[in-house]
Amino acid sequence: MGYSAAIVTVNDKIARGEGANIPGESVKMLLEEKGWKVEIMKVISGDNDIVASTLIDLVDNHNIPLVLTVGGGGYSEASFVPEVTLTVIEREVRGIPELMRHRSMELTPSGCLSRGVAGVRKKSLIVNLPGSAKAATENLAFGEDAMKHAVKMLWPNDTP
């Protein structure tokens, strides 16, 4: 396919250098297996302003067609990536997270607890994935075909 993607791992410990970016690297490996070109990988803290400015920068300044966040959507007091994503996107794409939650519930009843969202900003699709490597790659596998189709619709005459 050849489309470009960015992966943003939102994890305070990893951002402080207190662990390896296993979730982000796992997502990268799966994306590349599916033919995506991962142009940018970042690890950032869960600070809302940093999350928002990172997503805006990847879309507005780098024209990345698919931006995946990994983590920051849990239930801790500092997990607000879905809420921040909703402030950054221009149009919500509810079907992708619905699909990922539905398929996750086939594996575990707690799959319904996912709070991830997806949406479009300019010509880019932004999708929130869970923070564990296992859940992130499972959800990516469930939704990747839909993500690919959305990017093709957003970039009908280009191959970014």
Assigned domain for 160 exists: no
Assigned domain for 159 exists: no
- Domain residues for 12? 4-154
Assigned domain for 137 exists: yes
Residues 62-86 have a mean pLDDT of 94
Q: What CATH code is carried by the domain that includes residue 150?
A: 3.40.980.10
Assigned domain for 81 exists: yes
Domain count, the chain: 1
The per-residue b/e assignment along 106-124, b for 16 or more CB within 10 angstroms, e otherwise, is eeeeebeebbbbbbbbebb
Whether the per-residue pLDDT at 39 is higher than 90: the answer is yes
CA-to-CA distance for 110 and 104, rounded, in angstroms? Answer: 8
- pTM comes to 0.96
